[in-house]
Structure 1
Amino acid sequence: MLIDLHADILYRMNKEKQDFYDENSLLHASYAHLQEGEVKFQVFATFIDPILRGEQQLLAVIDSLDRFHQKIKRKGIVEPVLTVSDVQRIRQTQGILGALLSLEGADCLAGHASVLSMLYALGVRLIGLTWNHGNSLADGILEPRGGGITGFGREVIEQMQQLGMVIDVSHASDRVVEDVVQIVSRPIIASHSNARAVYPAKRNLEDEHMKLIAATGGVIGVTFVPEFIADKNEVMIEDLLRHLLHMLRVVGADAIALGSDFDGITTTMADLRDSRDYPVLIERLHHEIGHETTKKIMGENIFRVLTNTLPK
């Protein structure tokens, strides 16, 4: 069972007018590519440029979610995951791709908690608190002041837990990670982040913050973004493995997952170009870390997080 915690399919569909179901689609994670890569669950992120504010931001989010419901969702083919029952049913049913909707940066809430309930009703089950900058909930990793969770952010986190939504701290400031773990009683994730100790990209996580996430029962999704892996012209799976092996030493096999960021990146790894190449990665992981650990990273760990977080 393979689960990808983050891809910007909806964003690229809109930006480049790509068709998810077109066999000649340029999407990294088109339907055909996901099938060939044997992906069972895919997180479809909604990313909206933060230059949009207020009503424009919210309308763009609604448009993105509608894109999923109108152009991707198909009964018996791609079905939304809303509950633990959905996860279990789709996991056991051949031929169905489970789709989880996420929000990459919660700017659209803009201080209004009622928007969260609307997003939940539209099928969103994972939310990244911010995207690099500061918003009404929290500061991002590129925000110069490096602040933490706001009072409104705390309110949103508590409401997310009541609803059964997964909290994502990728793109958040270091202090936000520290704040969030003090608030939550359920697992949190960093959907697409690597290890700062291996490569010092600011978007990567310090060891201490990976440990905090793991202590909640959560996971870190190893990401395929070349700029977060190594300073090389051609980044390879062997470079990604350095992050993964380091994370295994720091947090263990139960706290690691995959978060590709496919379709949110313009340059890909040389030997992991799109979702079709997952079998290459899996074969390499089997060789390096064994079948049982590979199974956990491919999906079992996320299955646990979803089971412990989503509504029944």
Structure 2
Amino acid sequence: MDIIDLHCDVLEKLTRLEEADFQNDGRLHANLNHLKAGKVKVQVFAIFVHPSVPQKEKFLEAARQIEAFHTKVLSKTEMVHITDWRQLDELKEGEIGAVLSLEGCDCIGDDLEKLQLLINAGVKIVGLTWNDENTVAYGTSELPSKGIKPFGHKVIQLLNKHDIILDVAHLNEQGFYEVLPLAKHIIASHCNARSLCNHPRNLTDGQIKALVQYGGRIHVVFYPPFVEQDKESTTINNLLQHIQYLTTLVGVESIGFGSDFDGMDPLSIEKLSNASEYPNLINALLKSYSTDEVLMMASKGFKDFVMEVGKA
């Protein structure tokens, strides 16, 4: 069964690890061989600039990751750069779609032209923040009562103009609710249910329902502390509890996967430690859901969602 995964941090590793090879480097959870073995048909590659990078160097680091995307990921013949969502229906047997996303707008500072350059480079999904405050908004490590900044409204307008999907995964609570009526297209790329695991990176029932009411989706994340509180390792069964809770809350059509592979070293879910082990999750889901329902979560729900992007 084909998988669409909304989040991995391979690009940050490719620019940081010495002589990293996207095809088969065992240090990469979502390397090419793992993606192929796990039947991942589309992988979203996040541009994540670590907060330790000085502000004046952040945009250059984002550019370095885009360069790695082209020279180390797209150079593999199986990978196809998705710059138009309609390409998802055009992928051939053996091809894997590769999508760029931006995990937080820290790298643009207060310069909309830098965001425009990233959009021109093919970024299709943008998160306003990582966990901290920037010129746009406040992340989940900040007070939940703080909202979107004035510059953030300009950012959202630019995203809407280009039909870019806004990702709320790292926004604080007030910012989350403020963007819902403002964003043309919205998603939570890698979050779980806070009712089951009380972590600020997870979403409350109210947030999840509101997200879906505004046409959005939630993609579950495999990071153990977001699955089971304060745990460095967990099981597929515990992840299934989040999926079952969410499908009851908002339906299978609103659920997907956003693994966070390569962004959670050395933590992992047992038997779901890299992209090659996706079949273990699919087989577990098939014990509780029909094939059509699992397909909806694995890929069809997101494909249906993005085929409407640009029509609104």
Could you say which TM-score interval applies, normalised by the shorter chain?
over 0.9
C-alpha displacement at 1:76, in angstroms?
4.4
1:292 corresponds to which letter in structure 2? D
Aligned to 1:188: 186
2:306 partner letter = L
Q: Answer with 10-19 or 161-170: which moved more.
A: 10-19
| 1:268 maps to amino acid | S
Alignment-mate amino acid for residue 104 of structure 1:
E
The answer to whether the Cα contact below 8 Å between 2:164 and 2:185 also exists between their aligned partners in 1 is no
Amino acid of the residue matched to residue 36 of structure 1?
A
Q: Is the 8 A contact 1:76 1:95 kept in 2?
A: no
Name the SS for the 1:200 alignment partner: coil
Correspondence 1:117-266 to 2 at 5 A: 117-144=116-143, 146-184=145-183, 186-231=184-229, 232=231, 234-266=233-265
Inter-partner Cα distance in structure 1 for 2:14 and 2:52: 19
Equivalent-residue separation in structure 2 for 1:65 and 1:271 (angstroms): 31
Aligned to 1:26: 27
Q: 5+ unaligned residues in a row in structure 1: which ranges? A: none
Q: State the secondary structure of the residue aligned to 2:83.
A: coil
Q: Percent identity?
A: 32
CA RMSD of aligned residues (A): 1.7
Deviations 1:155-199 (A, max 9, x none): 111211111211101011011110011212x33111000000001
Q: Displacement, 1:57?
A: 0.6
In structure 2, what is the equivalent of residue 298 of structure 1?
Answer: 298
1:15–1:24 CA distance, 2 compared to 1 (3 A): closer
Structure 2 residue identity aligned to 1:39 = V
Distance in structure 2 (CA, Å) of the matches to 1:287 and 1:107: 42
Structure 2 residue identity aligned to 1:208: G
Q: Is the 8 A contact 1:166 1:310 kept in 2?
A: no
Moved over 3 A (4+): 231-234
With the length of structure 1 as denominator, give the TM-score of the two structures.
0.94
Partner residue in 1 for 2:52: 51
Alpha-carbon distance, 1:24 to partner: 4.5
What's the offset of the Cα at 1:306?
1.8
> Aligned partners of 1:145 and 1:298: how far apart in 2?
31
TM-score (structure 2 length as normaliser): 0.94
Q: Which amino acid aligns with 1:139?
A: Y
| Structure 1 residue aligned with 2:79 | 78
Q: Structure 1 residues 138-147 or 266-275, which shifts more? A: 138-147
Measured after TM superposition, the shift of residue 233 of structure 1 is: 5.6
Aligned length: 308
For 1:203 and 1:293, how far apart are their aligned partners in 2? 26
Give 1:254 shift: 1.5
